[in-house]
Chains A and B, each alone.
Chain A
Protein backbone atom coordinates (compact mmCIF):
# COMPACT_ATOMS: atom_id res chain seq x y z
CA UNK A 1 0.00 0.00 0.00
CA UNK A 2 1.12 3.56 -0.60
CA UNK A 3 3.00 5.25 2.20
CA UNK A 4 2.69 8.75 3.54
CA UNK A 5 3.19 11.24 0.73
CA UNK A 6 4.50 14.72 1.34
CA UNK A 7 4.64 17.40 -1.31
CA UNK A 8 6.67 19.19 -2.37
CA UNK A 9 9.92 17.47 -1.42
CA UNK A 10 11.98 20.63 -1.61
CA UNK A 11 11.05 24.27 -1.41
CA UNK A 12 12.95 27.54 -1.38
CA UNK A 13 11.16 30.64 -0.15
CA UNK A 14 12.09 34.19 0.71
CA UNK A 15 11.74 35.75 4.14
CA UNK A 16 8.30 37.19 4.65
CA UNK A 17 6.59 34.86 2.23
CA UNK A 18 4.18 32.15 3.22
CA UNK A 19 4.25 28.46 2.38
CA UNK A 20 1.82 25.55 2.33
CA UNK A 21 2.97 21.97 2.71
CA UNK A 22 0.81 18.93 2.00
CA UNK A 23 0.61 15.48 3.54
CA UNK A 24 -1.45 12.55 2.26
CA UNK A 25 -1.66 9.82 4.90
CA UNK A 26 -1.81 6.09 4.40
CA UNK A 27 -5.26 5.07 3.24
CA UNK A 28 -7.48 4.51 6.26
CA UNK A 29 -5.30 6.51 8.64
CA UNK A 30 -7.26 9.29 10.26
CA UNK A 31 -4.57 10.94 12.33
CA UNK A 32 -1.88 13.19 10.91
CA UNK A 33 0.85 14.77 13.01
CA UNK A 34 3.46 17.28 11.93
CA UNK A 35 7.02 17.63 13.20
CA UNK A 36 9.83 20.05 12.48
CA UNK A 37 13.36 18.70 12.32
CA UNK A 38 16.31 21.05 12.65
CA UNK A 39 19.95 20.11 13.27
CA UNK A 40 20.09 21.72 16.68
CA UNK A 41 16.68 20.74 18.04
CA UNK A 42 15.89 17.32 16.70
CA UNK A 43 12.24 16.59 15.96
CA UNK A 44 9.73 18.92 17.54
CA UNK A 45 5.99 18.45 17.51
CA UNK A 46 3.90 21.01 15.67
CA UNK A 47 0.33 19.70 15.79
CA UNK A 48 -1.90 16.67 15.37
CA UNK A 49 -5.14 16.41 13.48
CA UNK A 50 -7.69 13.66 13.84
CA UNK A 51 -10.97 13.57 11.92
CA UNK A 52 -10.48 17.18 10.81
CA UNK A 53 -10.00 18.42 14.37
CA UNK A 54 -6.78 19.68 15.90
CA UNK A 55 -6.13 17.39 18.87
CA UNK A 56 -2.79 18.69 20.10
CA UNK A 57 -0.56 21.62 19.41
CA UNK A 58 3.12 22.10 20.12
CA UNK A 59 4.92 25.18 21.27
CA UNK A 60 5.21 27.06 18.01
CA UNK A 61 4.11 30.61 17.18
CA UNK A 62 0.77 31.32 15.57
CA UNK A 63 2.48 31.71 12.18
CA UNK A 64 2.33 27.92 12.02
CA UNK A 65 -1.11 26.55 11.31
CA UNK A 66 -2.65 23.47 9.82
CA UNK A 67 -5.82 21.81 8.79
CA UNK A 68 -7.15 18.43 7.82
CA UNK A 69 -9.66 17.63 5.13
CA UNK A 70 -12.44 15.07 5.11
CA UNK A 71 -10.24 12.64 3.17
CA UNK A 72 -7.64 12.91 5.99
CA UNK A 73 -5.16 14.80 3.84
CA UNK A 74 -3.52 17.56 5.82
CA UNK A 75 -1.83 20.83 5.05
CA UNK A 76 0.35 23.02 7.16
CA UNK A 77 0.92 26.68 6.51
CA UNK A 78 3.70 28.95 7.68
CA UNK A 79 3.17 32.66 7.21
CA UNK A 80 5.72 35.46 7.31
CA UNK A 81 8.62 33.08 6.91
CA UNK A 82 11.77 33.62 8.93
CA UNK A 83 15.27 32.26 8.29
CA UNK A 84 14.87 30.04 11.36
CA UNK A 85 11.95 28.25 9.74
CA UNK A 86 14.38 26.47 7.46
CA UNK A 87 13.95 22.83 8.39
CA UNK A 88 12.72 19.43 7.35
CA UNK A 89 8.99 19.19 7.96
CA UNK A 90 7.77 15.67 8.57
CA UNK A 91 4.28 14.37 8.80
CA UNK A 92 3.26 11.07 10.32
CA UNK A 93 -0.01 9.26 9.99
CA UNK A 94 -1.61 6.64 12.20
CA UNK A 95 -4.91 4.83 12.41
CA UNK A 96 -6.03 6.46 15.60
CA UNK A 97 -5.12 9.54 17.52
CA UNK A 98 -1.83 9.15 19.27
CA UNK A 99 1.68 8.17 18.37
CA UNK A 100 1.07 4.41 18.23
CA UNK A 101 1.82 3.03 14.82
CA UNK A 102 3.23 6.23 13.36
CA UNK A 103 4.35 6.05 9.74
CA UNK A 104 6.39 9.03 8.65
CA UNK A 105 6.60 10.59 5.24
CA UNK A 106 9.92 11.56 3.66
CA UNK A 107 9.44 15.18 4.56
CA UNK A 108 9.52 18.55 2.87
CA UNK A 109 12.84 20.35 3.02
CA UNK A 110 12.08 24.08 3.35
CA UNK A 111 14.85 26.60 2.88
CA UNK A 112 14.16 30.24 3.68
CA UNK A 113 16.57 32.74 2.13
Chain B
Protein backbone atom coordinates (compact mmCIF):
# COMPACT_ATOMS: atom_id res chain seq x y z
CA UNK B 1 0.00 0.00 0.00
CA UNK B 2 1.55 3.25 -1.16
CA UNK B 3 1.17 5.64 1.78
CA UNK B 4 2.77 8.55 -0.07
CA UNK B 5 1.80 9.04 -3.68
CA UNK B 6 3.19 11.24 -6.38
CA UNK B 7 0.88 10.66 -9.28
CA UNK B 8 2.76 12.69 -11.87
CA UNK B 9 5.92 10.90 -12.98
CA UNK B 10 7.10 13.94 -14.90
CA UNK B 11 6.54 17.65 -15.34
CA UNK B 12 7.92 20.14 -17.85
CA UNK B 13 7.95 23.85 -17.10
CA UNK B 14 9.44 26.84 -18.86
CA UNK B 15 12.20 28.74 -17.15
CA UNK B 16 10.84 31.58 -15.04
CA UNK B 17 7.41 30.03 -14.60
CA UNK B 18 6.02 28.29 -11.54
CA UNK B 19 6.55 24.56 -10.98
CA UNK B 20 3.96 22.79 -8.84
CA UNK B 21 4.71 19.28 -7.68
CA UNK B 22 1.97 17.36 -5.92
CA UNK B 23 1.92 14.68 -3.28
CA UNK B 24 -0.94 12.80 -1.62
CA UNK B 25 -0.80 10.66 1.49
CA UNK B 26 -3.07 8.17 3.15
CA UNK B 27 -1.75 7.94 6.71
CA UNK B 28 -3.27 10.66 8.88
CA UNK B 29 -0.68 9.94 11.59
CA UNK B 30 2.17 11.49 9.61
CA UNK B 31 3.71 14.27 11.74
CA UNK B 32 5.66 16.11 9.12
CA UNK B 33 6.66 15.92 5.51
CA UNK B 34 9.86 16.46 3.61
CA UNK B 35 10.80 17.15 0.03
CA UNK B 36 14.03 15.84 -1.40
CA UNK B 37 15.67 16.69 -4.68
CA UNK B 38 17.78 14.18 -6.56
CA UNK B 39 20.15 14.68 -9.46
CA UNK B 40 21.33 11.68 -11.49
CA UNK B 41 24.25 9.81 -9.92
CA UNK B 42 23.80 11.67 -6.64
CA UNK B 43 21.92 10.93 -3.46
CA UNK B 44 18.74 12.82 -2.54
CA UNK B 45 19.30 16.14 -0.81
CA UNK B 46 16.88 17.68 1.64
CA UNK B 47 14.99 20.64 0.24
CA UNK B 48 12.23 21.75 2.58
CA UNK B 49 9.91 20.32 5.21
CA UNK B 50 6.59 21.13 6.81
CA UNK B 51 5.08 20.15 10.14
CA UNK B 52 1.53 18.85 10.23
CA UNK B 53 0.58 21.81 12.45
CA UNK B 54 1.38 24.27 9.67
CA UNK B 55 -0.20 24.80 6.30
CA UNK B 56 2.68 26.60 4.63
CA UNK B 57 6.44 26.78 4.82
CA UNK B 58 8.59 28.98 2.65
CA UNK B 59 12.30 28.98 1.92
CA UNK B 60 13.43 31.27 -0.83
CA UNK B 61 12.01 30.12 -4.14
CA UNK B 62 10.50 27.02 -2.54
CA UNK B 63 7.17 26.88 -0.75
CA UNK B 64 5.39 23.82 0.52
CA UNK B 65 1.66 23.86 1.17
CA UNK B 66 -0.15 21.31 3.29
CA UNK B 67 -3.87 20.59 3.15
CA UNK B 68 -4.51 18.12 5.95
CA UNK B 69 -8.19 17.65 5.24
CA UNK B 70 -7.39 16.62 1.68
CA UNK B 71 -4.23 14.75 2.74
CA UNK B 72 -2.39 16.65 0.05
CA UNK B 73 0.77 18.69 -0.12
CA UNK B 74 2.42 20.57 -2.91
CA UNK B 75 5.81 22.06 -3.59
CA UNK B 76 5.90 25.36 -5.48
CA UNK B 77 9.08 26.57 -7.13
CA UNK B 78 9.01 30.17 -8.27
CA UNK B 79 10.66 31.14 -10.52
CA UNK B 80 11.79 27.82 -11.97
CA UNK B 81 15.40 27.63 -13.14
CA UNK B 82 17.14 25.09 -15.38
CA UNK B 83 19.19 23.94 -12.37
CA UNK B 84 15.95 22.84 -10.72
CA UNK B 85 15.67 20.00 -13.24
CA UNK B 86 15.82 16.90 -11.07
CA UNK B 87 13.63 14.23 -9.52
CA UNK B 88 11.66 15.44 -6.52
CA UNK B 89 10.55 13.08 -3.80
CA UNK B 90 7.91 13.68 -1.19
CA UNK B 91 8.50 11.75 2.04
CA UNK B 92 7.20 11.34 5.57
CA UNK B 93 8.70 9.64 8.63
CA UNK B 94 6.85 6.48 9.55
CA UNK B 95 5.04 7.24 12.81
CA UNK B 96 4.85 3.63 13.86
CA UNK B 97 8.58 2.96 13.75
CA UNK B 98 10.21 5.75 15.79
CA UNK B 99 10.24 8.08 12.79
CA UNK B 100 12.27 5.68 10.72
CA UNK B 101 11.94 4.84 7.99
CA UNK B 102 11.09 7.62 5.66
CA UNK B 103 8.21 6.61 3.44
CA UNK B 104 8.84 8.01 -0.03
CA UNK B 105 6.67 8.71 -3.00
CA UNK B 106 7.90 7.42 -6.35
CA UNK B 107 9.12 10.84 -7.39
CA UNK B 108 8.34 13.43 -10.05
CA UNK B 109 10.93 14.30 -12.68
CA UNK B 110 10.93 18.04 -13.24
CA UNK B 111 12.37 19.43 -16.45
CA UNK B 112 12.82 23.17 -16.62
CA UNK B 113 13.18 24.28 -20.20
CA UNK B 114 15.25 27.36 -20.98
Contacts and interface: CB of A to CB of B under 8 A. Distances in A.
A108 to B, nearest CB: 11
Interface residues of A, number: 26
A99 interface: yes
Interface string B79-114: 000000000010101000111111111110000000
A91 B97 CA distance: 18
Interface string A90-113: 101000011110111111000000
Given A104-B43, A105-B43, A43 B99 contact: no
A100 B99 contact: yes
Contacts of A40: 106
B101 A107 contact: no
Given A42-B105, A42-B106, A98 B100 contact: yes
A104 B34 CA distance: 14
Contact of A99 (B42, B93, B106): B93
Given A97-B98, A98-B98, A99-B93, A41 B106 contact: yes
A80 to B, nearest CB: 24
Nearest to B44: A104
Given A42-B104, A42-B105, A56 B98 contact: yes
A69 to B, nearest CB: 19
Nearest to B93: A99
Contacts of A100: 93, 99
Interface string A50-92: 0000011010000000000000000000000000000000101
30 contacts: A31-B100, A33-B100, A35-B101, A35-B104, A41-B106, A42-B105, A43-B91, A43-B102, A43-B104, A45-B100, A45-B101, A45-B103, A56-B97, A56-B98, A56-B101, A58-B101, A97-B98, A97-B100, A98-B98, A98-B99, A99-B34, A99-B93, A99-B99, A100-B93, A102-B46, A103-B46, A104-B36, A104-B44, A104-B45, A107-B42
